[in-house]
Amino acid sequence: MKKEQKLYFSHGDGKIKRDKIKKVGKNVIFEKGVLIFHPENIEIGNNVYIGHYTILHSYYKSLMKIGNNVWIGPHSFFHSAGGLIIKDNVGIGPKVIIITSQHNLSFLDIPIIEAPVEFAPVEIEENSDIGAGSIILPGVKIGKGVVIGAGAVVTKNIPPFEIWAGVPAKKIKERK
């Protein structure tokens, strides 16, 4: 018997339609090439800059919330299937990736692409800075005033006012 082929559907072209975004504050700048998927589940505060060719990929069941005074560098990718909250005064460098879902790897008898998807929210507290090229994985909470070094891979929660870097990210020191 031939295995049934799954059909995959497009999420659309991602072109920005401000009137379709759930909430857009004042002084929000979308640079050229920014794409937004599931805008009905995205809230953006005031004074937000979203750099060139960034992708905000929300999800039909979850919310992506970006606070006030947030700067998002170019070529970043945020996928908020599990929910994403970025609080006020956060800087996010270019090419940062934030993922909130992953395949369950405990199923050995099926291809990973067919394994169930697990969802876990990501939260970035206020006054934090995420270095260029960093990757933040599902279920991570980054505390207030945290600095993440460029290129870090964040796999676990980070307490407030610490500096983390590396792959996987480890505590470098506390901010004083």
How high is the mean pLDDT of the chain? 94
pLDDT range class, residue 61, cuts 50, 70, 90? confident
**Res 3 pLDDT > 70:** no
What residue type is 67 in one-letter code?
Answer: G
For the chain, what percent of residues have pLDDT higher than 90?
Answer: 88
Helix, strand or coil, per DSSP, at residue 72: strand
**Res 68 pLDDT > 50:** yes
d(CA 68, CA 82): 21
* Catalytic residue positions, numbered: 103
What residue type is 161 in one-letter code?
Answer: F
Backbone angles phi, psi at 32, to 5 degrees: -55, 135
Domains of the chain, CATH where assigned: 24-174 (2.160.10.10)
Region 159-165: mean pLDDT is 98
Q: Give per-residue pLDDT as tens, 103-118.
A: 999 988 999 989 999 9
Query: 164: part of which helix (H) or strand (E)?
Result: strand 162-165
How does 54-84 read in b/e, with b if 16+ C-beta sit within 10 Å?
bbbbbbeebbbbbbbbbbbbbbbbbbbbbbb
DSSP 95: T
d(CA 67, CA 92): 12
pLDDT at 6: 58
pLDDT at 2: 47
Region 120-141: mean pLDDT is 98
**Res 7 pLDDT > 60:** no
Rounded to two decimals, the pTM is 0.93
Strands (E), 25-143: 28-30, 35-37, 42-44, 48-50, 55-57, 64-66, 71-72, 77-79, 84-86, 91-92, 97-99, 101-103, 117-119, 122-124, 129-130, 135-136, 141-142
pLDDT at 5: 52
